[in-house]
Amino acid sequence: MSPTLSVLESRGAAAPVSISVAMTTYNGARYVAAQLESIAAQTCRPDELVIGDDQSRDDTAAVVGAFAQRHPGMAVRFERNRERLGSTRNFEQVARRCRGDLVVFADQDDLWLPQRLARVAATFAANADASYVFSDGLLIDEDGDAVTGTLFSSVGFTSAEQAAYRNGDGLRVLLRHNVVTGAALAVRRADLIRTLPFEPGWIHDYFIAFLLEAMGRGICLAEPLIRYRCHRNQQVGVARQGLAQALAYARKQTAAYCRREAQNFQALRARLATRGLAPTHPLPATLDDKCRFIIQRARMRTEPLSAPGLLWRALRRGDYVRYGLGWRQAVVDLMAVALAVRARHHR
């Protein structure tokens, strides 16, 4: 094994555990060098860095090659996809190529704090039943300057939800929204394999977290372990708060969007059935309820006259609290209904 191998303390005995870093790249030449150097600067260096490039048209491959030459002691396995796969499918292919006991995901444009791998490895060692670990992160802009807030605050992961997650109630949080950012995620490879292939329509981080939380548990670390870069070219970025963002969500969350979301959760339910979920487990019925709620939200947009009644009944049942972000989602739905009515009048 390589000299960079981490040694984890588990139940009082030292057990060697190898670490893979799974990174995807696409036209990332501007930022990827700094990210790679932050990985090389870890206090606990990884055993391999596995990179899947989604047919970049810039100098990404050359930047990675130069990094590998500067760090001959680090195993860098770079592979260019034969066709464009998109972020989620690209991460899936990279995950399949990883050989380490732990797989730590990396975006091409962030920066890791030096203790990330050591902290993640220690957390897995202290929690033998945990299948995944994710952390908070600091925010930076395109130039690397600090931005107000943190990764958790930007995705609306409140202190109450963090406490619920730590107390074993992560599914209740994930039923409301995704709080796991792939750039801050690490998974035991044996458990990651159980999630493959990633379900079409899902972003890989949400799918991994939901599936593994249903079958076990994950751990959230309030400690920031990365610097998460916010910029215009991100495929998926952190949420910004305020009326402008609510309006952007309303434009995005059309009836078709809602129906696709319901289909995604139906597919997740079917996948869970193939993973040995106990017949008495309450999650399948809960997912059915969530799907019905999402379909009702789609109906609000196609049948605006029924929207007030549907929304009021959903509020009374508590659906907006159990399966969405409460009054904020209700406001987005009202905006979406208004936009749908306006669009019809302008036809």
**Claim to verify: residue 273 and residue 196 sit in the same structural domain:** no
**Claim to verify: residue 35 and residue 137 sit in the same structural domain:** yes
pLDDT in tens, 205-244: 999 999 999 999 999 999 999 999 997 654 444 445 577 8
Count of C-beta atoms within a 10 Å radius of residue 241: 12
**Claim to verify: residue 219 and residue 256 sit in the same structural domain:** no
Please indicate, yes or no, if residue 48 is contained in any of the structural domains: yes
pLDDT at 10 over 90: no
pLDDT at 4 over 60: no
**Claim to verify: residue 225 and residue 262 sit in the same structural domain:** no
Please indicate, yes or no, if residue 1 is contained in any of the structural domains: no
**Claim to verify: residue 192 and residue 318 sit in the same structural domain:** no
Q: What is the pTM of this model?
A: 0.91
Please indicate, yes or no, if residue 315 is contained in any of the structural domains: yes
Share of the chain above pLDDT 90, in %: 86
**Claim to verify: residue 224 and residue 277 sit in the same structural domain:** no
**Claim to verify: residue 113 and residue 223 sit in the same structural domain:** yes
The parent domain of residue 112 ranges over 6-229
Average pLDDT over the chain, rounded to an integer: 92
Split into its structural domains, the chain has a count of: 2
pLDDT in tens, 298-344: 999 999 999 999 999 999 999 999 999 999 999 999 999 999 998 88
Contact in structure between 199 and 269 (CB atoms under 8 Å): no
| Integer Cα distance of 189 and 101 in angstroms | 5
Please indicate, yes or no, if residue 132 is contained in any of the structural domains: yes
Q: Which tokens hold the place of 313?
A: 């009944």
**Claim to verify: residue 260 and residue 159 sit in the same structural domain:** no
C-alpha radius of gyration, the chain, whole number: 21
Please indicate, yes or no, if residue 322 is contained in any of the structural domains: yes
Please indicate, yes or no, if residue 173 is contained in any of the structural domains: yes
Domain end call among 195, 229, 263: 229
Please indicate, yes or no, if residue 235 is contained in any of the structural domains: no
**Mean pLDDT, residues 116-129:** 97
Residue 58 sits in a domain of what CATH number? Answer: 3.90.550.10
**Claim to verify: residue 119 and residue 42 sit in the same structural domain:** yes
**Claim to verify: residue 25 and residue 151 sit in the same structural domain:** yes
**Mean pLDDT, residues 3-31:** 73
| Integer Cα distance of 281 and 142 in angstroms | 45
Please indicate, yes or no, if residue 97 is contained in any of the structural domains: yes
Band (285; pLDDT cuts 50, 70, 90):
very high
Share of the chain above pLDDT 70, in %: 93
**Claim to verify: residue 248 and residue 219 sit in the same structural domain:** no
**Claim to verify: residue 294 and residue 194 sit in the same structural domain:** no
| Integer Cα distance of 96 and 92 in angstroms | 6
pLDDT in tens, 172-207: 999 999 999 999 999 999 999 999 999 999 999 999
pLDDT at 8 over 80: no
| Integer Cα distance of 151 and 183 in angstroms | 10
Count of C-beta atoms within a 10 Å radius of residue 118: 15
